Amino acid sequence: MNAPDAKTQAAWQPLTFKGVAAFAGGTMSQLLLIQIVVALLAGSTVIWLVHRAWFPTIEEAINSLPPQGELRSGQLLWTGDASARLAEGRFLALTVDLDHAGKVRSPAHIQIEFGRTDFRVYSLLGSCQGSYPRGQSLAFNQTELRPWWGAWAPAILMITGLGVAAGLLVIWAGLATLYTLPVWLAGIFADRQCSLGGSWRLAGAALMPGALLTCAAILLYGGGRLDLLQLAAIGVAHVMLGWVYLILSLLRLPRLEEAEAARRNPFA
């Protein structure tokens, strides 16, 4: 029942159900090319967001630091006030509250609060806590961080974008592998022509519309049109969108008897 693909198809766009279905009969290079383009687009979108939403606040916070201070042996050696607001924007706030007494709170979407022995991250989605690294010393003062930030900020942006792109390619490969067997079995029960390899390619292509939706949501979030909860909701919706494309694109594949008739017809 595992019928081979009739022929290699021209697969070039994953925006429609028919377009996604074409990747089942396409080649691995066609799918990889589309995925690289979408991954680079997603990485560029994240670079734009970080540069627009976070970097100005980080730079302002560095300029607000005292001349002396460091993280040493898991503790913050701080010479300023016990509670201080370093910088605050719509998206990010950076504060110091040595005892986490709640004296500095921010309406920013994400607030990073530096305590005496740990730091806390607050957001609309909840909070989490982490400890400072032990066994090493890190600068926490304007004198050292200002030139370091000026030298490394462009590299941090580039590494962030490339990391997002590479991570997405790995995640998409894993999800396509996870979806391959269910798609192939569904194709058998639906009497559709789809090999195991074609099922993997179709699954990989079906993830692209959700990724593009997320890119659009990030742009709207960075432009102030969406809040963090709405962005998270779209993040969940983009997973379900992939499932919709999987099912409906599979149904756009030719039936087995149609594919067999096409192979027997020399003029098809």
pLDDT reported for residue 242 = 96
Per residue in 116-133, pLDDT tens?
Answer: 999 999 998 789 999 998
Name the region of 102 (left: φ>0; alpha: ψ -120 to 50; beta: rest). Answer: left
Per residue in 175-215, pLDDT tens?
Answer: 999 999 999 999 999 999 889 999 999 999 999 999 999 99
Cβ burial of 68 (10 Å; 0-12, 13-18, 19+) is middle
pLDDT reported for residue 99 = 92
Per residue in 129-171, pLDDT tens?
Answer: 999 988 889 999 999 999 999 999 999 999 999 999 999 999 9
How far from chain centre, in Å, is Cα 171? 10
Confidence band, pLDDT 50/70/90 cuts, at residue 262:
low
Please state, in angstroms and rounded to a whole number, the distance separating the CA atoms of residues 187 and 189: 6
pLDDT reported for residue 256 = 78
Per residue in 79-105, pLDDT tens?
Answer: 888 999 999 999 999 999 999 998 899
Among 80-84, 234-238, 244-248, the least confident range: 80-84
Name the region of 122 (left: φ>0; alpha: ψ -120 to 50; beta: rest). Answer: beta
pLDDT reported for residue 1 = 40
Residue pair 143/17 in contact by the 8 Å Cβ criterion: no
- Res 6 pLDDT > 50: no
Per residue in 46-87, pLDDT tens?
Answer: 999 999 999 999 999 999 999 999 999 999 999 888 999 999
| Measured CA angle at 31 (ends 25, 34), to 5 deg | 135
Record the pTM.
0.88
pLDDT reported for residue 61 = 97
Confidence band, pLDDT 50/70/90 cuts, at residue 30:
very high
Q: Count of CB atoms within 10 A of residue 191's CB?
A: 14
Q: Count of CB atoms within 10 A of residue 166's CB?
A: 12
pLDDT reported for residue 80 = 86
- Res 251 pLDDT > 50: yes
Confidence band, pLDDT 50/70/90 cuts, at residue 5:
very low
Q: What is the mean pLDDT of the chain?
A: 91
3-class secondary structure per residue, the chain: CCCCCCCCCCCCCCCCHHHHHHHHHCCHHHHHHHHHHHHHHHHHHHHHHHHHHHHHHHHHHHHHCCCCEEEECCEEEECCCCEEEEEECCCEEEEEECCCCCCCCCCCCEEEEECCCEEEEEECCEEEEEECCCCCEEECCHHHHHHHHHHHHHHHHHHHHHHHHHHHHHHHHHHHHHHHHHHHHHHHHCCECCCHHHHHHHHHHHCHHHHHHHHHHHHHHHCCCCCHHHHHHHHHHHHHHHHHHHHHHHCCCCEHHHHHHHHHCCCC
- Res 9 pLDDT > 70: no
pLDDT reported for residue 3 = 41
